[in-house]
Structure 1
Amino acid sequence: MKGCRPLSGVEVRRVLGSFSGWEEQRDRTLFLLGVTSGFRISELLSLRVRDVVRSKRVVKEIEVKRANMKGRHESRQIYLNRQAQQAILSLIHSMQQRGVWSHDSFLFKSRQGKNSPITRVRAYQILSTAFRHAGLSGKLGTHSMRKTFGNNVYEHMLNLVAKGVGVDAYRETAKALGHKSVASAENYLSFRNEHLRAAIDQFEVCL
């Protein structure tokens, strides 16, 4: 959703504690994977069990095939941190216990139909409910997960720059998001205008 804002670390933790119901594990895993991988919602919903499990273990890097990616000519791989790996493992165990598991099963499986993922509309409804229960406000949607990921990557790169590490924060963020150009990352991070606001606030003191 255009204009969606990212979430702070505190807000992410509040949302993670706001899921409930029969598909609690599925919905929490969707959100956690969204904020730690930066995949678009359509890319997340395309994932199957076989994409995240190899030799009975959750993979350390997840790949979305180019056929399921927006405007790209190649697939993209993203590293999964330990928390995301554990969430996926817990979700698969839940699917096994309920007898809805196979290597071909969609990871974020709908209860409607034999084997299909939840729709993008349903994902939006699920997240909107969690955001509301967490007491969040502002323009939020499924794309807030990707915005959160991009913002976190950029913050980390800025910290490295401050320590004297020779990295280009925009370039590294563009790479993590799968953007083809640095300009795309700059536009994507346009919500980060706190320095501009601070400069404008100073005018009041100077005048």
Structure 2
Amino acid sequence: MEYVAPIKQLHKIRLMKTHLKKKSSRDYLLFVIGINTGLRISELLRLKVEDVRDDTGEIRHFITLHDQSVFLNEQVKRALKYHFHCVQPSQHDCLFSSPRTKKPITRQQAYRIVNDAAKAVGIDGKVGTHTLRKTFGYHAFTKGIAISLIQKRFNQTTQAETLQYIGIEKTEPQKIDVNL
């Protein structure tokens, strides 16, 4: 497996969102939910509509995976609403289904979606499905989320492993911003 990097520049993330939204609501949702939850691609591809939307049609605030609650922020909720408006799936449908087979897209298809979009918006370097998780971790850390919480989400053994995984160099100055 080749090393892939997080997307560190916010303007590149916005470009990816715009590009993917024009292409497909499903692909846009995959990117948005991936960078905002830090879930593994295998976890994302197993999601069903009923995991994120209740029987009344309301978007859930949390999903539970492996005894861990995963918060669905406003970005994710907007992307879900947009996707549901475009596709109108049933509760038992896969969230990231192939229009042809109605089964979840494959990891390889998810890779192509992310990689092709990154190339289209001029992101240099290696990009893949782990880029989504790494982007979540990188931006969570730079916004002040404790590395111990990110480590727990990623189920990693050490904080050093998590810092390396999300692309934080030991030489990078750590910004501490207390705004009381």
Q: TM-score range by the shorter chain?
A: 0.7 to 0.9
Give the TM-score normalised by structure 1: 0.75
For 1:194 and 1:79, locate their aligned partners in 2 and report how far apart those are by CA, in whole Å: 29
Residues in 1 aligned to 2:37 and 2:157: alpha-carbon distance in whole angstroms: 17
Task: Give the count of matched residue pairs.
Answer: 170
Q: Does 1:129 align with 2:136?
A: no
Structure 2 CA distance for aligned equivalents of residues 58 and 88 of structure 1: 8
- Segments of structure 2 that go 5 or more residues without pairing to the other structure are 174-180
**Which amino acid is 1:39 matched to?**
L
Alignment correspondent of 1:112: 100
What secondary structure does 2:141 align onto? helix
Preserved CA contact (<8 Å) 1:47 1:107? yes
Whole-angstrom distance in 2 between the partners of 1:52 and 1:30? 13
1:31-60, Cα deviation, whole Å (9 max, x unpaired): 011000000111101000000001310011
1:9 deviation in Å? 1.2
- Rg larger in structure: 1
Q: Where do residues 181-196 of structure 1 align in structure 2 (5 Å cutoff)? A: 181-189=158-166, 191-193=167-169, 195=171
Match of 1:95?
Answer: 87
Asked whether the equivalents of residues 157 and 172 of structure 1 are also in contact (C-alpha less than 8 Å), the reply is no
Which structure has more RCO (C-alpha within 8 Å, separation ≥ 6)?
A: 2
Shift of 1:10: 1.5
Percent identity, please. Answer: 31
CA displacement at 1:146 relative to structure 2: 0.3
Q: Return the alpha-carbon distance in structure 1 between the equivalents of residues 121 and 64 of structure 2.
A: 30
- Asked whether 1:38 is paired with 2:38, we answer yes
How well do the aligned residues superpose, as a CA RMSD in angstroms? 2.0
1:115-173 per-residue CA deviation (whole Å, 9 max, x = no partner) reads 31111101111111111111111011111010000111111227xxxxxxxxxx32122
> Gapped runs of 5+ residues in structure 1?
65-73, 159-168, 199-207
